[in-house]
């Protein structure tokens, strides 16, 4: 298991809830949360089974589908 962090453009709980169904569809993610109090609205997730690059691509696509942006940091 490993941890990845992403800078996002989420602004509130509503934004977080908008990406929730897309992130929850990624089977390799064990848990995730977004720190909305941080200036960069950091998404932290724990994942396994796929490479970090594969997870990063799926997270970016999930955010894209929800109308938001996530950049791996």
Q: How confident is the model at residue 43 (pLDDT cuts 50, 70, 90)?
A: very high
Q: Is the pLDDT of residue 12 over 90?
A: yes
- CA pair distance 73, 21, nearest whole angstrom: 22
CATH entry, 2-72, from 3.30.70.100, 3.40.50.720, 3.30.420.40, 3.40.50.1100: 3.30.70.100
Rounded to two decimals, the pTM is 0.91
Identify the band that residue 41 occupies on the pLDDT scale cut at 50, 70 and 90: very high
Task: Measure the CA–CA gap between 62 and 60, rounded to whole angstroms.
Answer: 5
- Per domain, the residue ranges of the chain are 2-72
For residue 49, the model assigns a pLDDT of 82
Q: How confident is the model at residue 19, as a pLDDT?
A: 97
Confidence class for position 50, pLDDT limits 50, 70, 90 = confident
């Amino acid at each position: 298991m490993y941890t990845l962090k992403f800078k996002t453009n989420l602004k509130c709980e509503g934004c977080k809830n908008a990406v929730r169904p897309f992130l929850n569809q990624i089977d390799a993610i064990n848990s995730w949360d977004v720190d909305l109090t941080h200036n960069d609205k950091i998404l932290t997730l724990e994942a396994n089974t796929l490479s970090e690059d594969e997870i990063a691509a799926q997270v970016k696509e999930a955010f894209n589908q929800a109308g938001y942006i996530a950049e791996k940091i």
